[in-house]
Structure 1
């Protein structure tokens, strides 16, 4: 693999590290473009699920490209021992870094959420459910455009649009996933709602000291807006949050519906619901 990869790209320093390998900065002399190369060591894949995810991820990313708010995949190189995915190069700062120390003003949060919901809606139209939406998986290019990344847990929604399997990250996982039921693409809308709550309030809606405590809080699902934190947040933003994190999946907004919510359409500014 490396001869072929190195014939096409100049590989430079490590810029990231994941569970199964490393991410390097690289340069393509033919296109004069800087890229990121994600190299996965197949010997670290411990079970069939991991191997299936590795096989699916480049296929799903290729299907979803090109979209302005989804990380672009340029190329894939594979041998028996490893796989290298050549990806669009993004800035080091993720959404997690942006929101780690302060809540965002509503117009900034609305702009980010509009881009994220656009990416999610595109995934859902193509029959793909991300299943691990969290701020760490949201990147930005050099022009500050949002890029949804890391499709390692993504799944085809399949016939009837339902799937099963507990995947995701404690703070962001939807309650129906934890209940062990069949679920659909709206698990992504719940996760995006949790991200929006943190953007506006600076704290997660469901909290615990351990993963088990967080799961229990998610299952109780009492969505509250502590006055001390949410005093300055508009009624329209809270209305969208309630509709994205609605426990009744049939009443939860789809990504397309969330994009048409007054708070998103107004850019978080003059809200008709204020």
Structure 2
């Protein structure tokens, strides 16, 4: 039996290095699904291991805010693996944020909290799998980013794409450097050992981006990104957002992983625990390119008004006191001095390696 005995291929959703993703329809129940077509003939042994690991992990993940595995098929003659998953026609968080930015409109704060809590719930499940779960070990995502957070047709949130995940034994420390640079924790950027706290940093980056409509640290090269993250200088969160929201962002974006809270600590914060039973669906927008996620029939509260009716985007214009301005000026000078020293060190290192720093 092949995958096409059970599903009708409808159209291409996207493609990558080793395969493509299609929208398919089941011949049994007429429901729509997403099907990954992965060619493993040219893969290296390590890449094949990652593919098998991803399939095995998907089968174990059972959470309302995580993309759910449906089935898999293998065409050994053509060296192709087909992975069928639940489908979402409402796109991903990255495209949603981009639309907000293009429309010059901020996301509503309660909407930001709602999206964040759904992602946090999924991450907590991975970091602290319940005893009833098939997942018996701690799972570190290592690639949390808006593009991997999908929106269902009911505008709820599903975390997907677990291709870079890694299972960790209790107290185990990993060293593999993987992920998307703009959302990578400092320890990953420096290729140091790490644990599940790298996901907390990435989640902090997502929360910040939902507010500021851009990642906290934007750079055009890895070296520049490392310097910015090391300096800890990032634009302020827009003034319309609450102190609670800004505090949670600051807690997660601490360079020292030991100081970052775990998912259980975050869930115990009063500003989060009081919102756990209140999940708002994403507001209706124009159709976004479909992505992989779950279509799940759930009862939700009415959707928010269309984007054009939401609060206008207003650039942040703080009015600090004179003493606050002096303090900020001193802080800025200190940070600029630190960045200058770090850049000088990088230039010297490049000279030793025979590289042109300005071209990196």
State whether TM-score is above 0.5: yes
Structure 1 position 73, deviation (Å): 0.5
1:70 corresponds to which residue?
A: 66
**1:140-151 matched pairs, under 5 angstroms:** 140-151=151-162
What is the aligned partner in structure 1 of residue 239 from structure 2?
231
Indicate the structure (1 or 2) with the bigger Cα radius of gyration: 2
Structure 1 position 72, deviation (Å)? 0.5
Q: 2:140 aligns with which of 129, 135, 146?
A: 129
The one of 232, 239, 249 equivalent to 1:222 is 232
**Are the equivalent residues in 1 in contact too, given 2:217–2:234 (CA < 8 A)?**
no
In the TM superposition, what is the alpha-carbon distance from 1:241 to its structure 2 partner?
Answer: 0.7
Asked if the contact 1:201/1:230 (under 8 Å) is kept, the reply is yes
State whether residues 201 and 253 of structure 2, in contact with CA within 8 Å, keep that contact through their aligned partners in structure 1.
Answer: yes
Are the structure 2 counterparts of residues 156 and 111 from structure 1 closer, same or farther at C-alpha, using a change threshold of 3 Å? same
Tell me, yes or no, if structure 1 residue 207 matches structure 2 residue 218: yes
- CA contact 1:161–1:185 (8 Å) conserved in 2: no
Preserved CA contact (<8 Å) 2:90 2:155: no
Query: How large is the Cα RMSD of the aligned pairs?
Result: 1.9
Residue number in structure 1 paired with 2:118: 115
Deviation readout 1:69-90 (Å, 9 max, x if unpaired): 0001100112330111000011
Contact 1:91–1:139 at 8 Å: present in 2 too?
Answer: no
**What is the aligned partner in structure 1 of residue 266 from structure 2?**
258
Aligned residues of 1:206 and 1:221 also touching (Cα < 8 A): no
Q: Deviations over 1:16-51 (max 9, x none)?
A: 222321111111122332111010011343x33322
Hey, what's the Cα distance between the residues in 1 that align with 2:244 and 2:170?
A: 35
In the aligned structure 2, how far is the partner of 1:114 from the partner of 1:161? 26
Instruction: Give the whole-Å Cα distance in 2 for the aligned partners of 1:16 and 1:264.
Output: 35
- In the alignment, is the contact (CA less than 8 A) between 1:16 and 1:22 conserved in 2? yes
Consecutive unaligned residues in structure 2, runs of 5 or more: 130-137, 277-360
Deviation >4 Å, runs of 4+? none
- Superposed displacement of residue 92, structure 1: 4.5
State how far apart, in whole Å, the 2-side matches of 1:160 and 1:192 are: 21
Superposition pairs for residues 34-53 of structure 1, below 5 Å?
A: 34-45=32-43, 47-53=44-50
Q: Give the structure-1-normalised TM-score.
A: 0.89
Cα pair 1:198 1:204 within 8 Å, conserved: yes
Give the gaps of 5 or more residues in structure 1: 269-274
Distance 1:31 1:143 in 2: 20
**Equivalent residue for 1:32?**
30
TM-score by length of 2: 0.68
Q: Note if contact 1:117-1:256 (Cα within 8 Å) is conserved in structure 2.
A: no
Partners in 2 of 1:18 and 1:92 — Cα distance? Answer: 20
Match among 87, 91, 94 for residue 93 of structure 1: 91
Determine the structure 1 residue equivalent to 2:354: none
- Cα separation, 2, equivalents of 1:159 and 1:256: 16
